[in-house]
Structure 1
Amino acid sequence: MSDKFSAGMRLGLAATTIAVFAGAAGYGLAIFQDGGRTTPQASDAGRKVLYWYDPMVPHERYDNPETRSSMGMKTIPKYADEGPGEAGIAIDPAQAQNLGLRIVAAQTGTLGSALTATGSIDFNQRDVAVIQSRAGGFVQRVYARAPGDVIGAGAPLADLLLPEWAGAQAEYLAVKRTGDAALTRAARQRLALVGMPAGTIAAVDRGGTPHNVITISSPINGAIKTLGVRKGMTISAGETLAEVNGLGTVWLNAAVPEAMAGQLRPGQSATATLTAFPAERFGGRIAAILPAFQVDSRTLTVRIELPNRGGRLRPGMFANVDFGGTTRSALLVPSEAVIRTGKRTLVMLALDKGRYQPAEVQTGQTNGGQTEILAGLSEGEKVVASGQFLIDSEASLSGVQARPISTQAATPLKQAAAKAGAYATVGRIDKIDATGITFSHQPMPALNWPAMTMSFRLANPALARGYKAGDRVRFSFDQSPAGPTIRTITREAGQ
């Protein structure tokens, strides 16, 4: 019994020891990242302690080391000689290697602006023929037609018996037989006024007998949208009998994401690839950008008009649309380095001495695995492109504040830019004169400017040489006492 009891005691002590060491190791992972410190050592003796705290809940402060935090953890000291400049959290290089951290620098590169969207074919609603009865009567005969049928121009739809027209024609023929030219002209004019087609009047003239049965037909090639005539029914003047939609051109309604909408304009070319004809490309132009915004999908509808040779493009067909695009320079980071929380967008900065800090950024377009940074980073700053989510989680637990957009560090490149154009953007030249240039330019987050049209002074009139209204350019400027002044200007790629 004593041997069994001793073995049980030894097993219990071993389990307790493992639990203690495991707890200490877990806690050590939490505290080694706050300021790069481990559990206080004897070498810290003599340093002034401001307060004690738990890195897991850094906002809680205690006045003695025996107090445990609200999470039940032992507190560590905050020393007076820990400089305020030590931002972020510190990670031992060996630990960083274990986490698989990959560091890249934000660099200016070329961003392709290929714009693509999906859409579906629809009827061209501007090419619609509405067929109505011009007099009251009866449907004597209908032809074998149905909604959806594709018919040619002149295809008969129905025969109508129109008593009113028959009486007017008989009166005209009687007046014509009198030989009175004036009365004959008046009677003929009456036939036109009641809505009788010129062809029917000519047939009455030639035959000398009334034509009281009139065949209505389609004036255009197209598909029957509605057909409201049946044999024997009574119709009234002005009643719609049928609608025919032309198929010579069709609309492609593309759902364009909100972020792309500002880059499109009516008249711009577009190319469509249809699932039904994967080996062919159909070219067209943007006819309109519809004003209604789809809140649920955050898209705008862009209407593209496509020629429909042979009537092969049918309403309802699915299509991929390529709006083309240009390339331009931009500050880029790998897309995998960007952390989107839903409320803001972050990157994890890699600072000196193995420290890391989240930084809030404003992003632009994404293409080819690269994301454009509009604000929050400077060229040359290093960010974590792999493993950043682990650091961000630890930073959140440690209460590390993200660097706001307005305080990004100035690099030598940025400082040099401040001397010869602190701000840069892309815009279209609207007007050039002796004093300056008027641009319709993109937003300027650094100045809290939205996209707008405004005038800029020219630091040197020679800068505008070779440019004209309509050119798309990238330009830099600074805020001089005389107003925004252009320092550099270059034509955008593809111009």
Structure 2
Amino acid sequence: MKTIHIAAAAVAAVAIAAGGFFAGQRSVAPDRHADAPVAPAAQGERKVLYWHDPMVPGPRFDKPGKSPFMDMQLVPVYADEQAEAGVKVSPGVQQNLGIRTAAATRAQVASSFDAIGTVQFDERLAQAVQTRVNGYVERLLVRAPMETVRRGQPMATIYAPDWLGPLNEYLALKRAGVADDVLAAARERMRAMSIPDSLVRQSEQHGTARARFTVAAPIGGVVAELGVREGVAVTAGTTLFRIAGLERVWAVAEVPEVQAVRLQRGQKVKAALQADASQAFEGELKEILPQVNAATRTLQARFEVANKGGRLTPGLLLRLQVAGPASSRLVVPAEAVIRTGTRAVAIVRKGNGTFEPREITLGAELGDQLEVVQGLQEGEQVVASGQFLVDSEARLKSVLGGMAAAGQAATAASAPAAGTFTARGTVESIEPDGITISHGPVPELKWPAMTMGFSTPGPKAFPGLKAGDSVQFEFRRGGPMGWELVAVRPEGGGK
């Protein structure tokens, strides 16, 4: 049981010391004796500024003695320690509390992000198959949209009676043995009418005009559009088929504008099927469409993805990991940052063994690390122990409030539970949230003469009061500082 009390006292010591630093920075003004010039000390001697209780560091005493708060002697504060900001924690207490620190380091971080893209046909690979003559579709070999076709695969047979006249004329000239330039002119005329050379050769081989020709697929892919049916009449310029290539596809993603501004054409992307992450693909950013969705504040980014084996089809979802350029950033563990709604604070361990709060400016969240834009230097040690942090939106308020509450609890151990108390003293300073008074002993609380801060009922309480006034005052337990003024009555002139 004795060991438990010792450990609890150690925890309270650190909590109260830290709470005194955070909550007492404004609540307790410097003692008037501490502001006086330090008299030259003899060589080898240390000048004592004041005495205090380390477990309740706010009140300051003019002479040594027993602490009114704890069963211990007051501890001196020397002049050479005055410049040391922060809270000191002994190595033993640090070990007992499990205080763990981590260094602020620089890391090469790529500005990457994830997005979900929808697969679409790459319109740059699409080709239209048209007829350049009036005729009829005698036979249709591809009968449904979205059928897969190979390059050179027959798709339809067209009968073109308008080609019979030019072909018969050419064959007659050839049989008549006319000059070569006349035959060349006849061939040029047939080319102008879009008669295929293969059809001319067939007519020459058989000796009769051939007006039926087969339409083949110019590329491999799928039939995205089927414009005719078997037996229908077609005219010059009719689109028979539209074929979409499958060598590459587009993945179109909605990218928030805050991320879109960092995108650049040519950035590499790794893609995986949303339904099966084991199927991975490579691609790159081709275009950011110049249009913002006003409702979602996003832009459409078009990524070109290699379609291995034609496994990607329109409508599939891809998880895209966009890799940005790498840059050196200062990072700290995420657990080392105490966040409120408006601020971010880190507890920094200084070279002299003290701990001090440091307000920092955060950048990007990088997994279990956070980028620090301002407030820390590379190599500085920050407290990353879970005992110092509370994982909620009110981390800072919870931690500081708990430390202040621990300090008030230690004071309450030797004070009556309730009541109003009277004392006389001199006003040292007046703040919007409190008044610092150097007062005489308070027998009811077993307090010696000391300087301490008192909360006020409001910022406009006790008008006309100024520093240096001798006052008689009444106070009670309560307020942010632990003790609150009830009434203040001036007794004499100022200093």
* CA gap 1:341/1:226 in 2 versus in 1, 3 angstroms: farther
Which of 391, 394, 397 is equivalent to 1:390? 394
Residue 363 of structure 1 is matched in structure 2 by 363
Structure 2 counterpart of 1:153, one-letter code: R
Distance 1:208 1:294, change over 3 A: same
1:268 & 1:237 partners in 2: Cα distance? Answer: 44
Which runs of no fewer than 5 residues in structure 1 stay unpaired? 1-30, 45-89, 91-96, 398-495
Q: Is residue 166 of structure 2 the alignment partner of residue 168 of structure 1?
A: yes
* Mapped contact 1:338–1:345 kept (Cα < 8 A): no
Deviation at 1:239, TM superposition (A): 2.0
Structure 2: stretches of 5+ with no match in the other structure: 1-19, 33-86, 88-93, 402-495
Shift of 1:224: 0.4
2:176 is matched with which residue?
A: 178
SS of the residue 1:195 aligns to = coil
Cα RMSD, aligned residues only: 4.8
Alignment partner, residue 306 of structure 2: 306
Q: 1:165 to 1:334 in 2, by over 3 A?
A: same
Contact 1:142 1:157 in 2 (8 A): yes
The structure-2 alpha-carbon separation of the partners of 1:242 and 1:169, relative to structure 1 and needing over 3 Å to count, comes to same
- 1:335 is matched with which residue? 334
| Residue 320 of structure 1: aligned partner | 319
Residue from 144, 158, 164 that aligns with 1:146: 144
Structure 1 counterpart of 2:240, one-letter code: L
Residues 217-296 of structure 1: pairs in structure 2 closer than 5 A: 217-253=216-252, 266-267=265-266, 269-275=268-274, 278-282=277-281, 284-286=282-284, 288-292=286-290, 295=293, 296=296
The 1:378/1:229 distance shift into structure 2, 3 A limit, reads same
Corresponding residue of 2:104: 107
1:220 Cα deviation after fit: 1.6
Q: State the TM-score, normalized to the length of structure 1.
A: 0.51
> SS of the residue aligned with 1:126?
helix
Larger Rg: 2
Deviation by residue 1:415-453 (Cα, 9 ceiling, x = unmatched): xxxxxxxxxxxxxxxxxxxxxxxxxxxxxxxxxxxxxxx
* One-letter code aligned to 2:390: G
Deviates more, 1:116-125 or 1:386-395: 386-395
Equivalence for 1:438: none
How far did 1:218 drift?
1.2
Shift of 1:360: 6.0
**2: CA distance, partners of 1:340 / 1:230:** 68
Aligned-pair identity in percent equals 30
Q: CA deviation at 1:138?
A: 2.9
User: Quick one: distance in 1 between partners of 2:101 and 2:255?
Assistant: 32
**Residues of 1 paired with 2:300 and 2:383: CA distance?**
34
Cα drift, residue 291 of structure 1:
4.3
Contact 1:266–1:285 (CA under 8 A) maintained in structure 2: no
Provide Cα deviations, 1:8-55, integer angstroms capped at 9, x if missing partner: xxxxxxxxxxxxxxxxxxxxxxx9986468899xx99xxxxxxxxxxx
Q: In the aligned structure 1, how far is the partner of 2:229 from the partner of 2:283?
A: 41
Matched residue of 2:195: which SS? coil
Q: Name the aligned partner's letter for residue 220 of structure 1.
A: I
Indicate the residue corresponding to 1:493 in structure 2: none
How big is the shift at 1:214? 2.7
Provide the residue aligned with 1:481 in structure 2.
none
Q: Distance in 1 between matches of 2:166 and 2:98?
A: 93
> Secondary structure of the equivalent of 2:332?
strand
1:304 partner amino acid: E
Q: Which amino acid aligns with 1:207?
A: H
Question: Using CA pairs below 8 Å that are at least 6 residues apart, which structure has the higher relative contact order?
Answer: 2
Cα distance in 1 for partners of 2:355, 2:225 equals 73
2:146 aligns to what SS in structure 1? coil
Q: Which amino acid aligns with 2:205?
A: R
TM-score by length of 2: 0.51
Residue correspondence of structure 1 range 36-115 to structure 2 within 5 A: 107-113=104-110, 115=112
